[in-house]
């Protein structure tokens, strides 16, 4: 599968990893709009998980769907994941690990198809997971 990766998204990751004041001070919503999935993606859905400890964003651009899970407490390393799949039997595409800003981006090309998507964030020994579906 051809997964779009852009220099802009790499630059965003580098800026987030560096912990610049502007990014750290911005709300999680701003990080999603600043191109974690790449340029041209727009947020089409989102869900708050684990009592608003993180927000999972579903974005879209020309048939490509992208999911990113963004913590609302940046800087603290904790387990997070972002997942996406085609609803018609596709395999889950997932990014999981211990991150300080966000998990993802993960992509699936599914124009005019339904997708399943979700994310998780850990809190002590419990991982909160929430999934949803979206048809476009």
16: left (phi over 0), alpha (psi -120 to 50) or beta: alpha
Whether the CA torsion 34, 39, 40, 45 is positive or negative: it is negative
* pTM, two decimal places: 0.72
| Boundaries of every domain in the chain | 7-135
- Dump pLDDT digits (tens) for 17-28: 333 333 333 454
- Give the pLDDT score at 59: 93
| Edge-to-edge strand list for the sheet holding 114-123 | 93-99, 78-86, 114-123, 126-135
Q: Are 43 and 34 spatial neighbours (Cβ–Cβ below 8 Å)? A: no
Q: What architecture does CATH give domain 7-135?
A: Sandwich (2.60)
Mean pLDDT of 132-136: 71
**Of residues 119, 9, 116, the one with CA closest to residue 70:** 119
DSSP 91: P
Torsion over CA of 84, 3, 33 and 24, rounded to 10 degrees? 90
Asked if the model's pLDDT at residue 128 lies above 50, the reply is: no
Q: What is the band of 11 on the pLDDT scale with cuts at 50, 70, 90?
A: very low
- Give the pLDDT score at 50: 78
- Dump pLDDT digits (tens) for 45-96: 888 887 788 889 999 999 999 999 999 888 989 999 999 999 887 899 999 9
Return mean pLDDT, the chain.
74
């Amino acid at each position: 599968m051809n997964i779009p990766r852009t220099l802009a998204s790499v630059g965003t990751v580098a800026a987030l990893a560096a912990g610049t004041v502007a990014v750290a001070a911005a709300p999680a919503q701003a990080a999603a709009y600043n191109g974690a999935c790449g340029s041209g993606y727009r947020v089409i859905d989102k869900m708050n998980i684990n009592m608003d400890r993180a927000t999972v964003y579903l974005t879209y651009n020309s048939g490509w769907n992208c999911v990113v899970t963004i913590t609302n407490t940046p800087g603290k390393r904790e387990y997070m994941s972002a997942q996406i799949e085609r609803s018609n039997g596709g395999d889950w595409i997932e990014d999981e690990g211990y991150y300080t800003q966000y998990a993802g981006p993960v992509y699936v090309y599914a124009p005019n198809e339904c997708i399943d998507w979700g994310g998780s964030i850990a809190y002590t020994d419990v991982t909160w997971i929430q999934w949803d579906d979206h048809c476009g």
